[in-house]
Chains A and B, each alone.
Chain A
Amino acid sequence: AAGVIQSPRHLIKEKRETATLKCYPIPRHDTVYWYQQGPGQDPQFLISFYEKMQSDKGSIPDRFSAQQFSDYHSELNMSSLELGDSALYFCASRRTGTPYEQYFGPGTRLTVT
């Protein structure tokens, strides 16, 4: 079965640089979620989109922005990167109207040096 695709899988950036993470949800899934998981931490919700509109917002820094496109893929844009942004970034998708489980992608490991 198709799964959530995230790219790139690994990314190394320097402080103050920008990064763009991409997420391709499972086909027919209309809701996308972004989570950030720091080392040894639990995943923290950043932002979500439903039918290309932002539906919920968590602890996303102002330096980050995200959007969902017409084909339902989503991108997380991160600017002025800081060392503390080093983390595993997960995208998850869900189809509204179905049971509430979110299916997670493999994650993008971002390292800021």
Chain B
Amino acid sequence: AQKVTQAQTEISVVEKEDVTLDCVYETRDTTYYLFWYKQPPSGELVFLIRRNSFDEQNEISGRYSWNFQKSTSSFNFTITASQVVDSAVYFCALSEAGQAGTALIFGKGTTLSVSS
């Protein structure tokens, strides 16, 4: 069965600190997709990144970076030099390939609070 685990329920940091959000997933499929979404206090879900199971390259986008390791079934997200605007709930999600209707399985989310 598919499962996404975000063990960190809440994280609090001070501005400019680096922070890593952990995500561990379970799937029996060999082809799957991993995602990170951000949900700010306003409530919308903002897509951040997608990673294919066959592409283990890490990715950096500005202050954001992602580390995908199939060997440990992890897809961790690091924010460098955090800012107050990064305060949000972050969800890691998994989707299996093969069908047009494959839904996202979300983790429970990590609430990140960045104080000034």
Contacts and interface: CB of A to CB of B under 8 A. Distances in A.
B7 interface: no
A56 B109 contact: no
Given A42-B91, A42-B108, A100-B95, A58 B103 contact: yes
B47 A101 contact: yes
Contacts of A88: 43
B100 to A, nearest CB: 4
Contact of B45 (A44, A54, A104): A104
Interface string B78-116: 000000000000010001010111111111110000000
Contacts of A107: 43-45
Contacts of B45: 43, 90, 92, 104, 107
Interface in A50-92: 50-51, 54-56, 58, 88, 90, 92
A49 interface: yes
